[in-house]
Amino acid sequence: MVSTMPKGSDPPASPKLFDRLAEGRMLRHWRRAGAAAGTAELAVLRAQRGRARKLRRELDRLIATADSRLALPAIGSTAMSRPTGADWLWRPDLWRLPAEPRGHASATARTTLTEGIVLFHDCPLAEIVLRQERNARPGDLSPFGLAVEIFGFAGSFLSLAIDLPPAAAQGLGPRHVVRIEAEVEAERPTGLLARLNLKQGPNADQIAVRIPEAGHESVAEFDLAYGTLREVPVDKLWLDLMIDNPAMNAVRLRDLRFSRRPRAEV
Protein backbone atom coordinates (compact mmCIF):
# COMPACT_ATOMS: atom_id res chain seq x y z
CA MET A 1 0.00 0.00 0.00
CA VAL A 2 1.29 3.45 -0.92
CA SER A 3 1.30 5.96 1.93
CA THR A 4 -0.75 9.13 1.36
CA MET A 5 1.03 10.99 4.20
CA PRO A 6 2.53 14.28 2.92
CA LYS A 7 6.30 14.27 2.64
CA GLY A 8 8.08 15.74 5.62
CA SER A 9 5.11 15.26 8.01
CA ASP A 10 5.46 13.34 11.29
CA PRO A 11 3.49 10.12 11.93
CA PRO A 12 0.37 10.56 14.08
CA ALA A 13 0.99 10.29 17.81
CA SER A 14 -0.54 7.30 19.61
CA PRO A 15 -3.35 7.80 22.16
CA LYS A 16 -0.94 6.73 24.92
CA LEU A 17 1.51 9.43 23.86
CA PHE A 18 -1.28 12.03 23.97
CA ASP A 19 -2.20 10.81 27.47
CA ARG A 20 1.38 11.16 28.67
CA LEU A 21 1.66 14.64 27.19
CA ALA A 22 -1.61 15.67 28.85
CA GLU A 23 -0.47 14.27 32.20
CA GLY A 24 2.79 16.18 31.87
CA ARG A 25 0.97 19.46 31.18
CA MET A 26 -1.37 18.87 34.13
CA LEU A 27 1.54 18.10 36.47
CA ARG A 28 3.35 21.26 35.38
CA HIS A 29 0.16 23.30 35.84
CA TRP A 30 -0.35 22.14 39.46
CA ARG A 31 3.35 22.48 40.23
CA ARG A 32 3.23 26.14 39.13
CA ALA A 33 -0.03 26.70 41.03
CA GLY A 34 1.50 25.26 44.19
CA ALA A 35 4.58 27.43 43.88
CA ALA A 36 2.43 30.55 43.41
CA ALA A 37 -0.16 29.75 46.11
CA GLY A 38 1.55 31.99 48.65
CA THR A 39 0.99 35.13 46.55
CA ALA A 40 -2.08 34.27 44.44
CA GLU A 41 -5.25 36.32 44.68
CA LEU A 42 -7.73 34.82 47.15
CA ALA A 43 -10.46 34.34 44.52
CA VAL A 44 -8.04 32.46 42.28
CA LEU A 45 -6.73 30.42 45.24
CA ARG A 46 -10.26 29.51 46.32
CA ALA A 47 -11.12 28.20 42.85
CA GLN A 48 -7.86 26.25 42.63
CA ARG A 49 -8.48 24.68 46.03
CA GLY A 50 -11.88 23.41 44.91
CA ARG A 51 -10.48 21.86 41.76
CA ALA A 52 -7.54 20.38 43.65
CA ARG A 53 -9.85 18.74 46.18
CA LYS A 54 -11.92 17.10 43.44
CA LEU A 55 -8.76 15.84 41.79
CA ARG A 56 -7.38 14.56 45.10
CA ARG A 57 -10.54 12.53 45.82
CA GLU A 58 -10.20 10.69 42.52
CA LEU A 59 -6.46 10.15 42.96
CA ASP A 60 -6.92 8.88 46.52
CA ARG A 61 -9.56 6.43 45.30
CA LEU A 62 -7.26 5.12 42.56
CA ILE A 63 -4.30 4.83 44.95
CA ALA A 64 -6.34 2.97 47.58
CA THR A 65 -7.66 0.48 45.00
CA ALA A 66 -4.21 0.00 43.48
CA ASP A 67 -2.59 -0.53 46.89
CA SER A 68 -5.19 -3.15 47.76
CA ARG A 69 -4.88 -5.03 44.48
CA LEU A 70 -1.11 -4.84 44.17
CA ALA A 71 -0.33 -5.67 47.81
CA LEU A 72 0.68 -9.20 48.69
CA PRO A 73 -0.81 -11.65 49.44
CA ALA A 74 -3.16 -11.40 46.47
CA ILE A 75 -6.90 -11.08 47.14
CA GLY A 76 -8.57 -14.48 46.92
CA SER A 77 -5.36 -16.36 47.61
CA THR A 78 -5.76 -19.90 48.90
CA ALA A 79 -2.05 -20.33 49.60
CA MET A 80 -1.44 -22.13 52.89
CA SER A 81 0.73 -24.88 54.20
CA ARG A 82 -0.86 -28.32 54.24
CA PRO A 83 -0.40 -30.23 57.52
CA THR A 84 0.99 -33.73 57.10
CA GLY A 85 -1.74 -36.22 56.18
CA ALA A 86 -4.49 -33.62 55.79
CA ASP A 87 -7.35 -34.69 53.48
CA TRP A 88 -9.18 -31.33 53.67
CA LEU A 89 -7.96 -27.75 53.98
CA TRP A 90 -9.94 -24.48 54.17
CA ARG A 91 -9.67 -20.76 54.92
CA PRO A 92 -12.96 -18.84 55.46
CA ASP A 93 -13.83 -16.18 52.88
CA LEU A 94 -13.58 -13.39 55.49
CA TRP A 95 -9.79 -13.96 55.44
CA ARG A 96 -9.63 -14.31 51.62
CA LEU A 97 -12.02 -11.83 50.01
CA PRO A 98 -13.22 -8.26 50.65
CA ALA A 99 -16.27 -8.13 52.94
CA GLU A 100 -19.19 -5.79 52.43
CA PRO A 101 -19.39 -3.84 54.65
CA ARG A 102 -15.77 -3.91 55.79
CA GLY A 103 -16.62 -2.95 59.38
CA HIS A 104 -19.27 -2.64 62.05
CA ALA A 105 -19.33 -0.03 64.82
CA SER A 106 -21.31 -0.75 68.00
CA ALA A 107 -21.82 -4.37 66.99
CA THR A 108 -25.22 -5.70 68.07
CA ALA A 109 -25.81 -8.92 69.99
CA ARG A 110 -25.93 -10.78 66.67
CA THR A 111 -23.80 -9.20 63.93
CA THR A 112 -23.26 -10.98 60.61
CA LEU A 113 -19.82 -10.32 59.13
CA THR A 114 -20.17 -12.50 56.02
CA GLU A 115 -22.32 -15.49 55.15
CA GLY A 116 -21.65 -18.16 57.77
CA ILE A 117 -19.68 -15.93 60.17
CA VAL A 118 -21.56 -14.21 63.00
CA LEU A 119 -20.46 -12.41 66.17
CA PHE A 120 -22.56 -13.11 69.26
CA HIS A 121 -22.40 -11.39 72.64
CA ASP A 122 -24.68 -10.43 75.53
CA CYS A 123 -23.18 -7.05 76.45
CA PRO A 124 -25.79 -4.26 76.77
CA LEU A 125 -23.13 -1.62 76.08
CA ALA A 126 -22.32 -2.90 72.57
CA GLU A 127 -19.00 -0.99 72.62
CA ILE A 128 -17.50 -3.39 70.09
CA VAL A 129 -15.96 -2.51 66.74
CA LEU A 130 -15.36 -5.08 64.00
CA ARG A 131 -13.12 -4.34 61.02
CA GLN A 132 -11.70 -6.37 58.17
CA GLU A 133 -8.08 -5.34 57.57
CA ARG A 134 -5.75 -5.89 54.63
CA ASN A 135 -2.68 -7.98 55.46
CA ALA A 136 0.55 -6.76 53.90
CA ARG A 137 3.31 -7.90 56.25
CA PRO A 138 6.23 -10.01 55.02
CA GLY A 139 5.26 -13.64 55.44
CA ASP A 140 1.49 -13.09 55.44
CA LEU A 141 -0.40 -15.78 53.53
CA SER A 142 -3.92 -14.57 54.25
CA PRO A 143 -5.04 -11.51 52.21
CA PHE A 144 -7.19 -10.18 55.06
CA GLY A 145 -7.48 -10.24 58.83
CA LEU A 146 -10.24 -9.45 61.34
CA ALA A 147 -9.83 -6.86 64.10
CA VAL A 148 -12.16 -6.99 67.13
CA GLU A 149 -11.87 -3.92 69.36
CA ILE A 150 -13.71 -4.07 72.69
CA PHE A 151 -14.10 -1.11 75.01
CA GLY A 152 -16.52 -1.34 77.94
CA PHE A 153 -17.87 -4.88 78.30
CA ALA A 154 -20.51 -5.91 80.83
CA GLY A 155 -21.58 -9.21 79.29
CA SER A 156 -20.74 -12.83 80.03
CA PHE A 157 -19.54 -13.97 76.60
CA LEU A 158 -18.18 -12.78 73.25
CA SER A 159 -18.10 -15.43 70.55
CA LEU A 160 -17.38 -15.66 66.84
CA ALA A 161 -19.44 -18.46 65.21
CA ILE A 162 -17.99 -19.87 61.97
CA ASP A 163 -19.89 -22.38 59.83
CA LEU A 164 -17.65 -24.98 58.21
CA PRO A 165 -18.48 -25.98 54.60
CA PRO A 166 -20.16 -29.29 53.73
CA ALA A 167 -16.83 -30.68 52.50
CA ALA A 168 -15.59 -30.64 56.10
CA ALA A 169 -18.32 -33.09 57.12
CA GLN A 170 -18.03 -35.44 54.14
CA GLY A 171 -16.79 -38.80 55.39
CA LEU A 172 -15.99 -37.36 58.83
CA GLY A 173 -15.81 -39.91 61.60
CA PRO A 174 -14.40 -40.68 65.07
CA ARG A 175 -10.96 -41.47 63.62
CA HIS A 176 -10.49 -37.89 62.37
CA VAL A 177 -8.60 -35.00 63.96
CA VAL A 178 -9.79 -31.47 63.11
CA ARG A 179 -7.10 -28.80 63.34
CA ILE A 180 -7.24 -24.99 63.71
CA GLU A 181 -4.30 -22.73 62.91
CA ALA A 182 -4.73 -19.09 63.94
CA GLU A 183 -2.44 -16.09 63.79
CA VAL A 184 -3.57 -13.98 66.73
CA GLU A 185 -2.41 -10.63 68.09
CA ALA A 186 -3.79 -8.86 71.16
CA GLU A 187 -3.04 -5.56 72.86
CA ARG A 188 -2.99 -7.32 76.19
CA PRO A 189 -2.82 -11.06 77.02
CA THR A 190 -6.10 -12.85 76.61
CA GLY A 191 -7.40 -16.39 76.43
CA LEU A 192 -9.18 -17.98 73.48
CA LEU A 193 -11.46 -20.99 73.74
CA ALA A 194 -12.45 -22.90 70.60
CA ARG A 195 -15.53 -25.14 70.66
CA LEU A 196 -16.29 -27.45 67.74
CA ASN A 197 -19.96 -28.30 67.32
CA LEU A 198 -21.10 -31.36 65.37
CA LYS A 199 -24.72 -32.14 64.46
CA GLN A 200 -25.94 -35.60 63.50
CA GLY A 201 -29.69 -35.58 63.01
CA PRO A 202 -31.29 -34.72 66.37
CA ASN A 203 -28.02 -35.32 68.22
CA ALA A 204 -25.24 -32.80 68.80
CA ASP A 205 -21.75 -33.03 70.24
CA GLN A 206 -19.28 -30.40 71.41
CA ILE A 207 -15.54 -30.58 71.88
CA ALA A 208 -13.69 -27.63 73.41
CA VAL A 209 -9.97 -26.89 73.38
CA ARG A 210 -7.94 -23.97 74.68
CA ILE A 211 -6.00 -22.05 72.01
CA PRO A 212 -2.49 -21.18 73.21
CA GLU A 213 -1.77 -17.65 74.36
CA ALA A 214 -2.25 -14.96 71.72
CA GLY A 215 0.79 -13.27 70.24
CA HIS A 216 2.01 -15.87 67.76
CA GLU A 217 0.72 -18.57 65.44
CA SER A 218 -1.42 -20.89 67.51
CA VAL A 219 -2.50 -24.45 66.78
CA ALA A 220 -5.32 -26.40 68.41
CA GLU A 221 -6.70 -29.83 67.54
CA PHE A 222 -10.00 -31.61 68.15
CA ASP A 223 -9.62 -35.40 68.40
CA LEU A 224 -13.07 -36.71 67.50
CA ALA A 225 -12.34 -40.04 69.20
CA TYR A 226 -12.95 -38.31 72.54
CA GLY A 227 -16.42 -37.10 71.59
CA THR A 228 -19.69 -38.95 71.15
CA LEU A 229 -19.60 -38.91 67.35
CA ARG A 230 -21.36 -41.93 65.85
CA GLU A 231 -20.60 -43.77 62.61
CA VAL A 232 -23.34 -41.92 60.75
CA PRO A 233 -23.04 -38.87 58.45
CA VAL A 234 -22.40 -35.50 60.07
CA ASP A 235 -25.01 -32.93 58.99
CA LYS A 236 -23.25 -29.76 60.04
CA LEU A 237 -20.12 -28.42 61.75
CA TRP A 238 -19.44 -25.02 63.18
CA LEU A 239 -16.87 -23.44 65.45
CA ASP A 240 -17.41 -21.05 68.34
CA LEU A 241 -14.32 -18.95 69.03
CA MET A 242 -14.66 -17.23 72.41
CA ILE A 243 -12.51 -14.42 73.82
CA ASP A 244 -11.90 -14.46 77.58
CA ASN A 245 -12.23 -11.20 79.55
CA PRO A 246 -12.57 -9.08 76.39
CA ALA A 247 -13.03 -5.64 78.01
CA MET A 248 -10.58 -2.91 76.95
CA ASN A 249 -8.71 -5.06 74.47
CA ALA A 250 -8.12 -5.30 70.73
CA VAL A 251 -7.71 -8.77 69.23
CA ARG A 252 -6.60 -9.30 65.63
CA LEU A 253 -7.10 -12.61 63.87
CA ARG A 254 -4.65 -12.19 60.99
CA ASP A 255 -5.34 -15.64 59.65
CA LEU A 256 -7.60 -18.59 60.40
CA ARG A 257 -7.20 -21.99 58.75
CA PHE A 258 -8.93 -25.33 59.19
CA SER A 259 -7.82 -28.81 58.19
CA ARG A 260 -8.54 -32.40 59.09
CA ARG A 261 -6.60 -35.63 58.90
CA PRO A 262 -7.39 -39.28 59.61
CA ARG A 263 -5.63 -40.63 62.65
CA ALA A 264 -2.97 -43.22 61.89
CA GLU A 265 -4.17 -46.77 62.36
CA VAL A 266 -2.54 -48.62 65.25
Residues 167-197 have pLDDT tens digits of: 999 999 888 999 999 999 999 888 899 999 9
Question: What pLDDT was estimated at residue 250?
Answer: 94
How far is Cα 250 from Cα 143, in angstroms, rounded to an integer?
A: 20
Q: Which residues of the chain have pLDDT under 50?
A: 1-3, 5
Domain residue limits, the chain:
15-70, 88-262
CB atoms within 10 A of CB 50: 10
Question: What pLDDT was estimated at residue 10?
Answer: 53
Residues 66-104 have pLDDT tens digits of: 766 666 666 767 777 888 899 999 999 999 999 999 999
pTM over 0.75: no
- Topology of domain 88-262 in CATH is Jelly Rolls (2.60.120)
CA terminus-to-terminus distance, the chain: 81
